């Protein structure tokens, strides 16, 4: 019985190491795949938020991505399928995409706070000038 369990565990370990999908010859590098997926998420968000802007500029998501990164649909699909067959790598890719969005969000919030602070400072200066002018009258 122990021998059977040991054989089954060994078989499972070797079968897990086996690649489900062969690595494509023109595999998109992982870091470039992160950027592609980031751009796709951004474009899809824009499409759902305000589709008329993309229509006005005649931008379609996938042709734009293919042209920007110099890839074709087959290369993208093969690379995406390959990474999807490796769940840990695929998860890492999507975590990196999420991190980029988080950094962008923090940068935009920082800019917004600075802008609001400068507007508030200018408004306060105007109030001080107005109150000095009123006290002189």
- The model's confidence at residue 48, banded by pLDDT at 50, 70 and 90, is confident
Tokens representing residue 72 in the block: 């074709």
What would the pLDDT profile of 74-106 be if each residue is shown by its tens digit?
999 999 999 999 999 999 999 999 999 999 999
Task: Say if residue 39's pLDDT is above 80.
Answer: yes
Phi, psi of 58 (to 5 degrees): 55, 50
For the chain, the domains span: 28-136
pLDDT at residue 38, as a whole number: 96
Tell which residue, 50, 48, 36, 38, has the closest CA to residue 101. Answer: 38
Q: Would you place residue 5 in the very low, low, confident or very high pLDDT band (cuts 50, 70, 90)? A: low
- CA 39 to CA 22: how far, in whole Å? 26
């Amino acid at each position: 019985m122990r021998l059977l369990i040991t054989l089954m565990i060994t078989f499972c370990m070797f079968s897990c190491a086996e690649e489900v999908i062969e690595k494509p010859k023109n595999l998109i590098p992982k870091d470039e795949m992160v950027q592609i997926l980031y751009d796709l998420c951004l474009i899809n968000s824009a499409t759902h938020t305000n589709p008329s802007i993309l229509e006005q500029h005649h931008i379609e998501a996938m042709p734009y991505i293919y042209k920007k990164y110099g890839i074709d649909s087959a290369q993208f699909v093969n690379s995406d399928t390959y990474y999807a067959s490796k769940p840990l790598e695929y998860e890492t890719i999507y975590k990196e995409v999420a991190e980029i969005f988080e950094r962008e969000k923090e940068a935009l919030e920082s800019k917004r706070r600075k802008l609001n602070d400068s507007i508030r400072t200018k408004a306060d200066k105007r109030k001080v000038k107005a109150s000095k002018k009123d006290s002189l009258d």
